[in-house]
Amino acid sequence: MKIIGSVKEDLAAEKRISVTPDVVKKYKDLDFSIYLEKNYGNHLGIRDEEYKDNGASLVNSSKEVLEKSEIVLRVNCLSNDQANLIKNQSILIGQFDDFSNKEIINKLIKKDIKIFSLNSLPRITRAQSMDVLSSQANLAGYRAVIESVEAFEKAVPMMMTAAGTITPAKVLVIGAGVAGLQAIATAKRLGGIVSATDVRIIAKEQVESLGGKFLSVEGAENLETKEGYAKEADESFKKKQTDLLKNAVKKNDIIICTALIPGKKAPRIISEDMVKSMKPGSIIYDLAVGQGGNSAFSEADKVNLVNGVKVMGVKNILNNLPLTASNLYAKNLFNFVYNLYDKKKKSIFLNEEDEIVSKTLITKEL
């Protein structure tokens, strides 16, 4: 019988969890034993009894979980101490950044740990149920708009009153990936006038289907990788994009920045002059701040006031709705484990000819 385990994250940085009571039942149906550290979900209001009722074993220490488990589920990478404890030749599954986690990943590879990073999941139909980037980015885009509207000291929708008409807020979304599209949909539902821009031409139809206006760079080619992600633009495109945004930025009340390039620093799209051109009371919410930010003046977990413009950035916005994020993330992880599960032999089989396995498995030291 295989043992799947998970230990608590560093709650100062991460409130999400990898195993919820609902998915414990699913693992048990596949004949897995589930080991969790005591008080695993307490911070989210999930009591140990809920896990036990669904068949999980709660143990006293993270050491015990890591030493027994053949599959370890995480949100973020293990700490250095945890990497020393994890069982040799076990499997580790989570979201791991090649750059910030390089030292730990190399240590784990030397212990012959099979490391799967779902950040590298291919964008194919069969992998959609495992796509942690999409499930989490969807929530991030929604939450960014909610927090922006809370900081915006005016009403967002048009209102007709006896005292006069309140004009709707104008919202610009930079980057129309999963987070950006959800930001567009949320801003529209709240009554804003929404526009968006993206380096991928395919995004135009998606933006317009949600009721947004697409701002396109004249003569632009489609800057999209074969995996469906945005790729870095050349200097000519960047100049045209800057010219387009100079005019658009100063007309908008709220700007949501979501533009990211996998494995690279976030592109700087909004300059200092653009920020200063906005009306006092305007909001810039930079979802890319964890990778350097799309906007000048954005800093992680700070609100910077620049000529009356609030520039906001949260390093981990999912900590602001961790229960919903955890429910989705835990299901993504289960679906990934299920893909590794050989139904006939009732055991884990790493088929490296499977694109999902080969793309997510880290095989070499970084």
268 noted as active-site residue? no
18, 35, 40, 131: the active-site residue = 131
Report if residue 181 sits inside a domain.
Answer: yes
Name the β-bridge partners of 93. 73, 116
**Statement: residue 147 has pLDDT above 70:** yes
For residue 296 the two structure tokens come to: 């000048």
The pLDDT value given to residue 216: 84
Q: Which of 134, 161, 160, 83 is nearest to 325 (CA)?
A: 134
Residue 292: pLDDT band with limits 50, 70, 90: very high
CA–CA distance, 257 with 172 (Å, rounded to integer): 8
The yes-or-no verdict on residue 233 having pLDDT over 70 is: no
Q: Is residue 126 part of a domain?
A: no
Domain for residue 57, yes or no? yes
Task: Give 181's DSSP letter.
Answer: H
For residues 175 and 274, membership in a common domain is answered with yes
pLDDT at 222 over 60: no
Count of C-beta atoms within a 10 Å radius of residue 165: 9
Nearest-angstrom CA–CA distance, 253 and 12: 32
If you compute the radius of gyration of the chain from its CA atoms, what whole number of angstroms results?
22
Q: Is residue 251 part of a domain?
A: yes
Query: pTM of the entire structure?
Result: 0.91
Q: Is 131 inside any structural domain?
A: no
Q: Judge if 315 and 328 occupy the same domain.
A: no
Domain of residue 352 covers 3-120+322-362
Q: Give the number of domains in the chain.
A: 2
Whether residues 168 and 282 share a domain: the answer is: yes
Please state the rounded mean pLDDT for residues 291-303: 95
Question: From the candidates 229, 341, 354, 358, which is the catalytic residue?
Answer: 229
Give the mean model confidence (pLDDT) for residues 306-327.
97
154 and 183 co-located in one domain: yes
Is 128 in the active site? yes
Residues 287 and 144 in one domain: yes
* Co-location of 49 and 65 in the same domain: yes
In this predicted structure, what is the pLDDT of residue 202?
85
**Residue 227 confidence (pLDDT):** 55
Q: State yes or no: is 131 an active-site residue.
A: yes
Q: Please compute the mean of the pLDDT values over residues 298-319 and round it to a whole number.
A: 96
Which of 61, 89, 128, 236 is catalytic? The answer is 128
From 98, 123, 216, 341, active-site residue:
123
| 99 shares a domain with 68 | yes
**pLDDT for residue 249:** 96
Q: What share of the chain is helix, strand, coil (3-state, %, to 5)?
A: 40, 20, 45
> Which residue type sits at 92?
L
pLDDT in tens, 45-63: 999 999 999 999 999 999 9
**Does residue 229 carry a catalytic annotation?**
yes
Q: Which is catalytic among the residues 18, 117, 134, 148? A: 134
Provide the mean pLDDT of the chain: 92
**Per-residue pLDDT reduced to its tens digit, 67-101:** 999 999 999 999 999 999 999 999 999 998 776 78
* Percent of the chain predicted with pLDDT > 70: 94
Q: Per the domain annotation, does 20 fall within a domain?
A: yes
- Is residue 147 included in any domain, yes or no? yes
How far apart (Å, rounded) are the C-alpha atoms in residues 222 and 44?
42
pLDDT on residue 332: 98
